């Protein structure tokens, strides 16, 4: 079973993805992998067996307002 997470970021300087991969590899048994070469917009955390345990979708820029509005509508329900 895996989890899906969406991060909504107002400002993003897009550091090298390799820095995240190295940080995770040095501090945990997990590794991160870009999905379809998308790097920061869509990536996943994998366990030691290569199973995806956390899928991440990073939203930035103009799309953030739409995402925040959508979350607000859901919160009010």
Mean pLDDT over all residues of the chain? 82
Q: Is the pLDDT of residue 26 over 60?
A: yes
Q: How many domains does the chain have?
A: 1
Distance, in Å, from the CA atom of 15 to the CA atom of 23, rounded to the nearest integer, reads 13
Contact call for residues 47 and 53 (beta carbons, < 8 A): yes
Q: Is the pLDDT of residue 47 over 90?
A: yes
Among candidates 41, 6, 23, 4, which has minimal Cα distance to 32? 23
The reported pLDDT for the residue numbered 27 is: 95
Q: Domain containing 72: what range?
A: 3-76
């Amino acid at each position: 079973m895996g989890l899906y997470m969406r991060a909504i970021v107002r400002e993003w300087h897009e550091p090298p993805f390799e820095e995240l991969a190295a940080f995770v590899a040095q501090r945990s048994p997990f590794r991160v992998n870009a999905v379809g070469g998308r790097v920061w917009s869509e990536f996943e955390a994998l366990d030691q067996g290569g199973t995806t345990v956390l899928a991440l979708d990073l939203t930035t820029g103009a799309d953030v307002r739409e995402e925040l509005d959508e979350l607000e509508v859901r919160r009010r329900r």
